[in-house]
Amino acid sequence: MTQNPILKVLSTFKKHKVKCLLIGGQACIIYGAAEFSRDSDFVVFCSDDNLERLKEALSALKAELIYVPSLEADYLERGHACHFRCNAKDVKKLRIDVISKLRGCDPFDKLWERKKTVSLKGGGTIDIIGLEDLVQSKKTQRDKDWLMLKRLVEDDIILNNDNPSDERVRWWFLESRSPDSLIRLAKEYPEIVKDCAAHRPLLSDAVNIDMQKLDFHIHEEELVERRKDIEYWMPLKKELETLRHNVKEIP
């Protein structure tokens, strides 16, 4: 994880007791699926008290709003993200994005229950989104997110391949986007793959070792999720356009 700027943001949020989870590229770095990310993204608990603490933390970082909408519960609860640029020393020009709900993911309280707490070398801890929730959050319309999703799952398979729990294997079957991995896992865990195929029919291609069909259906599955993401953001983007227009009209 990028050392100074991001840690400064995290420590400032901790100091002000902001209830939030690190998501996005920085979370992927912690899980070992990325090497670098310029921004820091957070999913935050959307309560009046917590948003006040967040505003205090942003003020300490001299973070300025760079796009609409403003940091208000109403916007966050509808699914909007709020974007800031830091101007304080050691974090100058660092971008912070906050959101309170992630498309396709559970509400914040459930994400909080499944969070991962990481200890820092210099002391202290940071809270990041759980791996399964991070993978789900990456099912967007962006190419880079699907690449990251695949890496996250494949890395987990490699790291936990020795005597994994049945629950973990089921998650691999439901989320892996690698035909090779799915075919290998289907051979190793024939009973589990049969159970999972009821939820993800393309797994029958893995059982039948039909690489061409499996690859096609994985791609088709991705396109469905991309369309869902586009449809989810469409009304929110229209609302942003209206907000930008109204800001321009203010004398």
Q: Residues 17, 44: contact at Cβ < 8 Å?
A: no
Any idea how long the chain is?
A: 251
Pairing of strands 64-65, 40-44: unpaired
Quote the radius of gyration of the chain (alpha carbons, Å). Answer: 20
Q: What pTM did the predictor assign?
A: 0.94
Return per-residue pLDDT of the chain as tens, 251 residues: 445 688 899 999 999 999 999 999 999 999 988 767 778 999 999 999 999 999 999 999 999 999 999 999 999 999 999 999 999 999 999 999 999 999 999 999 999 999 999 998 777 899 999 999 999 999 999 999 999 999 999 999 999 999 999 999 999 999 999 999 999 999 999 999 999 999 999 999 999 999 999 999 999 999 999 999 999 999 999 999 999 888 764 33
| Alpha-carbon span 101 to 137, nearest angstrom | 10
- The separation between CA 185 and the C-alpha centre of its own chain, rounded to angstroms, equals 26
Nearest residue to 98 via CA among 129, 116, 76, 113 = 76
Q: Residue for token digits 């989870």?
A: 21
| Alpha-carbon span 87 to 47, nearest angstrom | 26
Q: Residues 92, 86: contact at Cβ < 8 Å?
A: yes
Q: Residues 68, 77: contact at Cβ < 8 Å?
A: no
Q: Reduced to 3 states, what is the DSSP secondary structure of residue 176?
A: coil
Q: Residues 15, 34: contact at Cβ < 8 Å?
A: no
